[in-house]
Chains A and B, each alone.
Chain A
Amino acid sequence: MSALIKHTPLPDRPPPSSQTGIVHWAKQHLFSSTTNSLLTLASFYVLFLLVPPLVNWALLSATLEGTDRSACEANGGGACWTFIKIRFNQIMFGLYYGSHPEQIWRPVLAFFMLIGLVAPLFIERFSYKGLLAGFILLIFPFIAFALIHGAWLGLPVAETNEWGGFMLTFILSIVGIIAALPLGILLALGRRSELPVVRSFCVFFIELWRGTPLITVLFMASVLLPLFFPSGVDLDKVLRALIGITLFQSAYTAEAIRGGLQAIPKGQFEAADALGLAYWEKMTFIILPQALKISIPGIVNTFIELFKDTTLVSIIGLLDLLNMSQTAAQSAEWRGYDTEAYIFAAFIFWIFCYGMSRYSQNLETKLDRGHKN
């Protein structure tokens, strides 16, 4: 009797061969209909047209050896990565560090210090987050400035107008986003305030910056800001750009945080009120910790936009990654290799922006789930 009854199910039969494997996949995804087949063939043709010449240009016939343009000219045809190799320090760190490679450890050290400091913030169990964040916001900027500029540590001085390349892009966007955060929080709270003067001021302020292109803001920072201060107050060019970027960014940060605030259920506000918390206690201890967490993806998205937009400082004459690459490609030594310069800069921007957008998407799904449960 028991022999007749199996207590374990039989293993699944393999699906018929027409339903598996590459053939089935191709049938379903490439040749499911006439149009589809035609599209596939057209795609093959486009790939055939685009890929071989591109690979050939960028890799197969490209030049990486040598130290000057003669190496590339001798080779001909392909991309001249020698140019990028020789000018790499300049494109990444700007004029000063480009010509003083022995000093490059300074920005690199600052960069890794930042990463080392920020990393614990992502560890769930780490319990001194507030303290660490305070250190990063209030003390680290001075350390980083001292390292990179060199004025207070007795290191050779790297003037801010000789800062450039990826380093400058990074500094502008990181400082911009961090400095905009407190301002953005205040503006977001103000926009949802019940006090009409506060609310209308915040709405006006936010919409003013959001309606204006960053390039106009930067023009303002470089042309108008010196007019606003009494003569004799000398603002550095990089600092002026930073002021413009921060004000501009604070409006976008405020909108991202407002989104977070709106997502907090009303019960949280009411519960805080019922506990008898005053406005700032309610916001600091109950609402903002939740709202900020939800707004992180939004803030990261505005950060990606800011990171890309820092290229605009090249229009007011700062040598950011884009402008530095372009300037290098226009130097007498490397004339005519602009395509390589643009592609290299685009590649770096792309890696960072793509990485961050992926991160923000993951975070979004993660936070989303957390919220629904």
Chain B
Amino acid sequence: MKAGKLMIATFALLGLSLSAASAATTLEAIKAKGHVQCGVTTGLAGFSAPDDKGAYQGIDADVCYAVAAAVFGDRSKTKFTPLTAKERFTALASGEIDILSRNTTHTLTRDSSLGINFTYYNYIDGQGFMVKKDLGVKSVKELSGAKICIQAGTTTELNLADYFRTNSMKFQPVVYDTSIQTREGFDKGACDVLTSDKSQLAALRTELKDPKGSIILPETISKEPLGPVVRQGDDQWFNIVKWVLYGVINADELGVSSKNVVAMKNSKNPNIRRLIGVEGEMGRKLGLSNDWLFNVIKQVGNYDEIYQRNIAPLGLIRKGSVNALWTKGGVLYAPPVR
């Protein structure tokens, strides 16, 4: 009977562990464990890629640093989980990560059927195509019959199919798991064309053996609003991440940057005073301290600083693009902090 008893004991233990579900809110859980767990890409320049010292840098990584600064007043209380496109939603839904900040496109299907919520956008992108220069291609319309390298599990896969179908063109997909493999495939000639979000194309192009030998075609075939994602069912956490994003955009609009934020404490503009917590109880309403955005701006910067630090080096200019503020012809428009 020994084995029987052993088995019962094992299963009893298993049962206990199975029913030990946590009931705390995400914010409480994060405060208890002392860090924000953040899902990012396995490496994409400008968005999230480890630097020489292994620290993640990029516009997506900065979202995580900003949220940590808002919650703990310390941007370093962040831990990263590199994820492939395939596993990202499972990781978020299972609670492995608290925020998914991994150049993820906001779509209706994802909103409605994955148990996740998109907060706001930190980069507005669109799908484009990169080809080898010597093929002499000038437009996407000439691409019929090409082999196209593409990353598995992305909306690009679907946009591509739609676009070619609409224009009655033919293509053969060459589907790889990670963006690095896709780049290698394109670079070594497994395909004629590489398709992805344009920002990614710009980043991948700099990593090619001969960046000048490839060009990015002018057309943009899709809308790709990218932003951080949280689990459904915890509105407080949803609001915190959303308002951290709104906060850095408002700071950009109001001209508050990491360099002048301390001086701005003496500003007379009530908008600025509310933003950095000198006036009002804005942070408290979210369950944070009132200097939450002060810490974010001090330690991570406003949207323009984040953009110039991460995206501009890829050769993507903010001025005049959709990612400019609404006051400057772009679409970034954050609700007021009041």
Contact = CB atoms under 8 A, between A and B. Distances in A.
| Direct A–B touching, Cβ under 8 Å | yes
A316 B152 CA distance: 13
A241 to B, nearest CB: 12
A226 interface: yes
B263 interface: no
29 contacts: A95-B50, A96-B54, A99-B52, A99-B53, A99-B54, A161-B82, A162-B54, A226-B90, A226-B94, A227-B94, A229-B18, A230-B19, A230-B21, A231-B93, A231-B94, A232-B23, A232-B95, A233-B17, A233-B21, A237-B96, A280-B2, A280-B3, A315-B177, A316-B84, A317-B82, A317-B83, A317-B178, A335-B207, A335-B209
Nearest to B29: A232
A252 to B, nearest CB: 22
Given A186-B3, A233-B21, A237-B96, A316 B54 contact: no
Contacts of B53: 99
B79 A159 contact: yes
Contacts of A332: 207
Contacts of B3: 186, 280
Interface in A195-244: 222-223, 226-227, 229-237
Contacts of A336: 209
A92 to B, nearest CB: 16
A330 interface: yes
A40 interface: no
Contact of B21 (A98, A227, A231, A235): A231
A327 interface: yes
B184 interface: yes
B21 A316 contact: no
B222 interface: no
A99 B320 CA distance: 40
B20 interface: yes
Interface in B192-215: 207, 209
Nearest to A281: B2
Nearest to B54: A99
Counting chain A CB atoms within 10 Å of each CB, the highest count among B17, B54, B91, B209 belongs to B54
B22 interface: yes
Interface string B5-47: 0000000000001111111000000000000000000100000
A230 B184 CA distance: 39
Kindly list the 10 A-B residue pairs having the minimum CB-CB distance in the complex, ordered from nearest.
A226-B94, A232-B22, A232-B21, A99-B54, A230-B21, A317-B84, A234-B95, A330-B180, A280-B2, A234-B96
B81 interface: yes
Contact of A327 (B2, B94, B180, B183): B180
B95 A317 contact: no
Nearest to A316: B87
The majority secondary structure among interface residues of chain A is helix
Nearest to B207: A332
B42 A317 contact: yes
Contacts of B80: 161
Contacts of A234: 94-96
Contacts of B22: 232
A168 to B, nearest CB: 14
A230 B50 CA distance: 32
Contact of B20 (A98, A99, A233, A315): A233
A166 B26 CA distance: 36
Nearest to A96: B54
B22 to A, nearest CB: 4
Given A235-B94, A317-B84, 7 more contacts: A161-B80, A230-B18, A233-B20, A234-B94, A236-B96, A280-B3, A330-B180
A229 B20 CA distance: 10
Nearest to A234: B95
Contacts of A316: 84, 87
Contact of A226 (B21, B93, B178): B93
Interface string A292-333: 000000000000000000000001110000000001001010
Contacts of A232: 21-23, 95
A98 B312 CA distance: 30
Contacts of B96: 226, 234-237
B214 to A, nearest CB: 15
B231 to A, nearest CB: 9
Contacts of B184: 330
A278 B2 CA distance: 11
Contacts of B83: 317
Counting chain A CB atoms within 10 Å of each CB, the highest count among B3, B19, B83, B93 belongs to B3
A71 to B, nearest CB: 18
Nearest to A338: B184
Contacts of A317: 42, 82-84, 87, 178
A212 to B, nearest CB: 19
A229 B15 CA distance: 10
Nearest to B184: A330
A161 B21 CA distance: 23
Nearest to B52: A99
A186 B2 CA distance: 13
Contact of A95 (B17, B54, B84): B54
Interface in A315-373: 315-317, 327, 330, 332, 335-336
A197 to B, nearest CB: 13
Contacts of A227: 94
A233 B22 CA distance: 8
Contacts of B54: 95-96, 98-99, 162
B18 A233 contact: yes
A222 B90 contact: yes
Contacts of B52: 99
Nearest to A224: B90
A214 to B, nearest CB: 16
Contacts of B178: 317
Contacts of B18: 229-230, 233
Interface in B84-141: 84, 87, 90-91, 93-96
A159 B78 CA distance: 12
A117 to B, nearest CB: 25
Contact of B87 (A222, A231, A335): A222
B82 A231 contact: no
Contacts of B90: 222-223, 226
Nearest to B2: A280
A237 B22 CA distance: 19
Nearest to A333: B52
A22 B209 CA distance: 53
Nearest to B177: A315
